[in-house]
Structure 1
Amino acid sequence: MIVEPTDLSMDIFLILFIYGLVFFTLGLVVLVYSRRSSRLELARSLKWLAAFGLLHGLNEWSELFLLTFAGQLEPSTAMLLEDLELLLLAISFACLLQFGISLVNPFVRKNWLNLLPAMICLSLLMYFFWLNPGTAGDYMAWHSQGVALARYSIGLPGALLAAYGLRRQAESRVKPLNVPTIYNMLRIAGLGLAFYGLFAGLIVPPVGFFPGSWLNTASFHQVVGLPVIVFRSAVGVILLVTIIRALEIFDVETDRLIESMEQQQILAAERERISRDLHDGAIQKAYTAGLLVESALRLMDPQSLATERLQPAVNLIQDTILDLRQNLIELHPAPTMERLSELLQQLSEEPRFRGLFTIQTSLDLQSGEPGGALRLNQIMAITNEALSNVARHARASKVLISATTQDGQFRLLIDDNGTGLDENARLGIGIRNMRDRARLLNGKLDLVNISPHGTRVQLTMPLIEEDA
């Protein structure tokens, strides 16, 4: 049991409960964020911080349980619970050390470091539970030694390494994103972890070896006047607040992904407008001008000076028309693959969408697939617009893209589990563009709400392109 008898003069029961609650809450919140897809390296390390918070909270609550029912437990039961407490403490600190290593490893790239926390933890537990098990006569001294060594060998380096890793991530990964609040929160969290390492990893129960023989919970209480658990709880609260605020970086990342997709949609719409203007305006006018000049040339003497002057103008107009048509082609690049199933599968794996929701595909195209570069461009543009709408408005976590061919018809369904359509809302430009593209494909686009919640975008069109 880590708490000294002198500590019981305060309401140590309440402090232990708050201490455990702070770290358990930290673990739960971080666990929720760790399940989100992200391209930030910090996201891949959060599972270890979540495990540390949950296990450390359980460790403190187990100590609270032992203090509460100390006089009612059988000695063997109390010893078993003390063993469990030591086990939770060592494993929680191993998770903290693993968190620190995972934060630093992208910069040092030493794969063997990933095995270090498990090796230290297993070695410590094997020594105390197998090679040097405690007995009833010296159990409390044995337990104090186990707690002290766990804090010295795992807790202290784990907290300090995690503190350094957080500040390194803040400087190299978060600062360039220009989010000063989150950047500062990460730096404060790193500083809090450093102080936690000192209070939780350096100040141990009284033991018979240095430095625990003179710097321990009893001597700290005697000098400072407060038990060290008060300071650990205060640092825990700072960690909880700052890390939760720092986790907003994933919301910022999501907002910027959505903003990037909106910009891409705006650029696509602008390219579409420019291409229409070029085709219906500039090219047609240049073509008409060329016809007028050619008709004038036919009325002139082929050997005249006017004919000699106008013939280069005709060639220049024809070159201009070729350049304009080349610009049209560049505004609408052809797909890099010919099969629609490959394009849809590639789209479902794009990182810009995977960071927002999970995309699954169900493609039954054994009867054939729509072909033609222009048709594939239109279908993929509709699919892109539908996914962008899900990202911007639906608040969905899953999207299913299914495609089938039957009776000469191709049907594309894009279902999400989001909030659904507002029947009173006005349709935006994106949806109108999707319907215009569907008409160009001689098809139809429908948007409906699905049960229990979500939206379906359905494109139905002929499988084979119909002649104009």
Structure 2
Amino acid sequence: MVDWNDTTVKLAVYLIYGTSFLIMFAALTLWKKRVSHIEIMDDFKYLAAFGLLHGLAEYSDIPGFLAWQPSWIFDLVKLLLVLSSFAALLAFGLNIISSGIEERRWLRGIPYGAFLMYIWLLVFTGLDFTNQDTGINYKAADLAQRYSLGLIGAAVTSYAFFDLSGKMKTIAGEIAGKKFMFAGIGFALYAIFAGLNVNPVFGVPAVVYRSVIAVLITIAVIGIFGLFEVKQSK
């Protein structure tokens, strides 16, 4: 049996989780420059931002396992990184589903409004002044952002990839459609384990499922970029 509370095991899980999304960020950043002639790829900058911010957010948990102090700094850093990453993920999904449809362009402002609204709620309802150790009620704040921006962002992004899957199947064939579909499935699972459920499943912590899903999402996204012809630089 794996002891999920063991510090070494926790470090391994969070390193896999964070590194997976950082690899996705690096791959998207590298490939985006090479496929900049493909219009829809411009929106993948938001997915790259999600990968960077969320990867760093998972790394920010590591000092807590090592008992570094003051712990509230790392809690605050992670809270802001996760919040920003979920806003970027929602921005990606909404930009994809509103692409080329003028009537849906207003959707693109939602992530910014949601981000500001969450900060407002955090200031007025998420701060804990009930004890001498004044600070953020991190658990409540984390749950709030997961059940809102996290869940919606992952769900919308999943829908966006499924929508692209159908279009790409028509344009580029079944294999292309399946690669987008795999990414959609990955984000659907991420919506469940990063948004809906934060409790252990079959005795395994939710973060373990998230780390596995992060690896699968990264593989799927890299596979998508492999579909496109690289523009040769002169």
**TM-score when normalising by structure 2:** 0.89
Q: 2:95 is aligned with what amino acid?
A: S
Partner of 2:109: 115
**Cα deviation code 1:388-415 (max 9, x no counterpart):** xxxxxxx5x24xxxxxxxxxxxxxxxxx
- Tell me, in whole angstroms, the C-alpha distance in 2 between the residues paired with 1:250 and 1:178: 10
Q: Does 1:98 align with 2:95?
A: no
Q: Does 1:17 align with 2:15?
A: yes
| Maintained 8 Å contact 2:186/2:213 | yes
For residue 126 of structure 1, the aligned residue among 120, 131, 137 is 120
Q: Aligned pairs, how many?
A: 229
**Cα deviation code 1:260-307 (max 9, x no counterpart):** xxxxxxxxxxxxxxxxxxxxxxxxxxxxxxxxxxxxxxxxxxxxxxxx
Q: 1:243 is aligned with what amino acid?
A: V
Partner of 2:195: 201
For residue 59 of structure 2, the aligned residue among 58, 61, 64 is 61
- Tell me, in whole angstroms, the C-alpha distance in 1 between the residues paired with 2:175 and 2:75: 42
Pairwise CA RMSD: 2.2
Question: What does 1:365-380 align with in structure 2 at a 5 Å threshold?
Answer: none
Tell me: CA distance 1:247–1:136, structure 2 relative to 1, closer, same or farther (3 Å): farther
Taking only the aligned residue pairs, the percentage that are identical comes to: 29
TM-superposed deviation, 1:64:
1.4
- Tell me, in whole angstroms, the C-alpha distance in 1 between the residues paired with 2:196 and 2:4: 18
Q: Does 1:171 align with 2:166?
A: yes
| Maintained 8 Å contact 1:38/1:250 | no
For residue 147 of structure 1, the aligned residue among 142, 152, 167 is 142
- Tell me, in whole angstroms, the C-alpha distance in 2 between the residues paired with 1:84 and 1:7: 24
Partner of 2:210: 232
Partner of 1:410: none
| Maintained 8 Å contact 1:183/1:246 | no
- What are structure 2's unaligned runs of at least 5 residues? none
Q: 2:99 is aligned with what amino acid?
A: P
SS at match of 1:233: helix
- Tell me, in whole angstroms, the C-alpha distance in 2 between the residues paired with 1:229 and 1:157: 18
Q: 1:198 is aligned with what amino acid?
A: I
**Cα deviation code 1:357-392 (max 9, x no counterpart):** xxxxxxxxxxxxxxxxxxxxxxxxxxxxxxxxxxxx
**TM-score when normalising by structure 1:** 0.46
Partner of 2:80: 87
| Maintained 8 Å contact 2:29/2:48 | yes
Tell me: CA distance 1:37–1:243, structure 2 relative to 1, closer, same or farther (3 Å): closer
Structure number with greater CO (CA < 8 Å, separation at least 6) is 2
Q: 1:185 is aligned with what amino acid?
A: K
Tell me: CA distance 1:53–1:242, structure 2 relative to 1, closer, same or farther (3 Å): same
Tell me: CA distance 1:159–1:132, structure 2 relative to 1, closer, same or farther (3 Å): closer
Tell me: CA distance 1:133–1:240, structure 2 relative to 1, closer, same or farther (3 Å): same
Q: Does 1:8 align with 2:2?
A: no
TM-superposed deviation, 1:250:
2.0
| Maintained 8 Å contact 1:156/1:202 | yes
TM-superposed deviation, 1:185:
1.2
SS at match of 1:249: coil
- Tell me, in whole angstroms, the C-alpha distance in 2 between the residues paired with 1:156 and 1:36: 31
| Maintained 8 Å contact 2:126/2:141 | no
Partner of 1:51: 49
- Tell me, in whole angstroms, the C-alpha distance in 2 between the residues paired with 1:139 and 1:20: 29
- Tell me, in whole angstroms, the C-alpha distance in 2 between the residues paired with 1:46 and 1:55: 14
TM-superposed deviation, 1:59:
0.2
Task: Please say which structure displays the higher CA radius of gyration.
Answer: 1
Tell me: CA distance 1:65–1:15, structure 2 relative to 1, closer, same or farther (3 Å): same
Tell me: CA distance 1:139–1:197, structure 2 relative to 1, closer, same or farther (3 Å): farther
TM-superposed deviation, 1:182:
2.6
Query: Which is richer in strand?
Result: 1
Partner of 1:305: none
TM-superposed deviation, 1:107:
6.0
TM-superposed deviation, 1:41:
4.2
